[in-house]
Amino acid sequence: MGTESENKSVLKEGFLVKRGHVVHNWKVRWFVLKHDRLMYYKYEGGKRDSCHRGTIPLNNCTINCPYLEYENRPLVLRLQTSTSEEHFLEACTREERDEWAAAIGKAVQKLNPQDAQILSQTQNKGSKSLQLHNINLSQVVDSMYDVHTGIRLCNLVEQGSTYTNCFSGSAVVDWIVFNKLALTRVEAVTLSSALLDEGSLRPVGVRSADAVRSAALGEQFLDDSTALYCFSQSLQKKGSVKAEKSVSAVELSGKVVKRGYLLKQGHKVKNWKVRLFVLRAEPAFLHYYDPSKDDITPVGSIALRGCLVSALDDNGIPSGVKGKVQGNLFKIITQADTHYYIQAPTHEERMDWIQAIRQVV
């Protein structure tokens, strides 16, 4: 009865990456949101600790979402407590980050009804506005540059010349519309022109350069597959596309289908570690990253073509699995007969991942 009551008081729970207070390193923690506090736990092996590692009081807490001060970490939100203590938390997707911000904001509003208006304004900064005048251009560029879900960089040819690490105008417009940053292609062109005007994007080749010189402001960007653009030199810094190519440009060229935090059992040392998993289609690969590091290169990849994926029984510990696992296990067997054991935080997430992997294979 006590456990059921405890579960009812949980407003939201899941993995987030937290920056340390003393040493500013990033570590994955399991967060549990209650009506007046946010508690976090460590996963030891494959199981959550029974005692919590820290508590963030929510009374008079303020939220900044998105918080874009961290290079290579565009999915961070910041909480500031009533004692001015700061907590920096990173989610695995924009949707998940915004859901956490909304859930925490709602809890704070209930504790401090008089601050509702201020908090709602803070949260609106993180929501996807379809009004162009409300769009934060630096946020758009950060999202576009995100190595996991941003725009794909290619080697493209225009009038006999090859340009590296660029993209077409129509690809930019497609990306903006797909990510709901604009309702129509016309709006997306206006937004792209603003990025061009402020120097985040630059023209590459003859067609795009001509448009910048001759077109009216707001029409300088071409929604055209033969007009080429790239990021400005100032963006091509730590974590550029060169890092991707060291893994495999082909592997990482597939469309991102799903991403999230899962636990993976190691091959040599059979320990469990939380990894950020990114599922890509055409070609079908499952890449996993160390969320504690800023490095944007995967620590490993699973070739999914011809693989078998299946849920494992939660009654007892299946053969091949080590440690005291929480449950919600599934297994991937590749064509090369390599076995991967993965643990999802919930039963629903396990089934979602299995279904998503089966659809891309």
Angle in degrees, CA 248, 252, 255, rounded to 5? 160
Reduced to 3 states (helix: H, G, I; strand: E, B; else coil), residue 180 is coil
Cα separation, 137 vs 344, in Å, equals: 35
Measured at the CA of 298, the angle between CA 295 and CA 301, to 5 degrees, comes to 175
The span from the CA of 87 to the CA of 77, in Å, is: 8
Helices and strands (H, E) in the chain, number of each type: 9, 20
| DSSP label of 314 | S
Return the closest-CA partner of residue 194 out of 245, 144, 128, 237.
Answer: 144
Angle at 357 between CA 352 and CA 359, to 5 degrees: 95
Q: Report the alpha-carbon distance of residue 185 to residue 163 in Å, rounded.
A: 25
**Would you give the end-to-end CA distance of the chain in angstroms?**
43
Query: Is 11:33 a contact under the CB 8 Å cutoff?
Result: yes
292: amino acid identity, one letter: S
Residue 134 exposure: Cα atoms within 13 Å on the Cβ side:
11
**Mean pLDDT, contiguous 10-residue spans, the chain (361 residues):** 55 92 84 93 78 87 82 82 91 88 91 56 38 64 81 84 87 90 86 82 86 70 90 56 49 84 87 91 90 82 92 77 84 93 93 95 86
347-358 burial by CB neighbour count: b if 16+ within 10 A, else e?
A: eebbeebbebbe
Domains (ranges, CATH) in the chain?
Answer: 2-127 (2.30.29.30), 148-235 (1.10.10.10), 248-360 (2.30.29.30)
Q: Enter the pTM of the model.
A: 0.65
* Omega of the bond leading into 66 within 30 degrees of 0 (cis): yes
Instruction: Tell me the C-alpha distance between 187 and 193, whole Å.
Output: 10
Report the pLDDT value the prediction gives residue 304, as an integer from 0 to 100: 94
Q: Which helix (H) or strand (E) holds 95?
A: helix 94-111
- Contact between 261 and 312 under an 8 Å Cβ cutoff? The reply is no
C-alpha–C-alpha distance, residues 26 and 64, integer Å: 18
What residues pair up with 282 in beta bridges, in sequence order? none
pLDDT score, position 126: 36
The whole-number pLDDT of residue 17 equals 93
Which pLDDT does position 34 carry in this prediction? Answer: 93
Question: Alpha-carbon distance 203 to 192, whole Å?
Answer: 11
- Other CB atoms closer than 10 Å to residue 85's CB: what's the count? 12
H or E element: which one contains 138?
Answer: helix 137-145
**CB 130, CB 180: distance < 8 Å:** yes
